[in-house]
């Protein structure tokens, strides 16, 4: 569980552009080795996009 939390944290930092090049490479290696992590990454970015679209809609009725 601790390892999963660490990887989820890395995914969040990756999305925010806060990882080094080496950390990005290691994360993509994890994605290749564990497709469920890549699915989690896609889910996170899709949810963020959805929430961003909804927040824009609220600001521009």
Neighbours of 51 (CB within 10 A): 10
Please tell me the pTM assigned to this model: 0.76
Confidence at residue 3, expressed as pLDDT on a 0 to 100 scale = 85
Confidence at residue 20, expressed as pLDDT on a 0 to 100 scale = 96
Q: Walk along the chain (61 residues) in steps of 10 and give the mean pLDDT of each run.
A: 85 95 96 94 91 61 49
Question: What does each C-alpha distance from 23 to 17, 20, 59 come to in angstroms?
Answer: 11, 5, 36
Query: Could you tell me which residues come within 8 angstroms of residue 24 by beta carbon, excluding any fewer than 6 positions away?
Result: 14
């Amino acid at each position: 569980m601790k390892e999963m939390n660490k990887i989820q944290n890395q995914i969040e930092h990756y999305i925010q552009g806060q990882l080094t090049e080496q950390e990005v490479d290691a994360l993509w290696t994890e994605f290749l080795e564990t497709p469920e992590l890549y699915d989690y990454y896609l889910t996170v970015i899709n949810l963020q996009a959805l929430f961003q679209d909804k927040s824009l809609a609220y600001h521009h009725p």
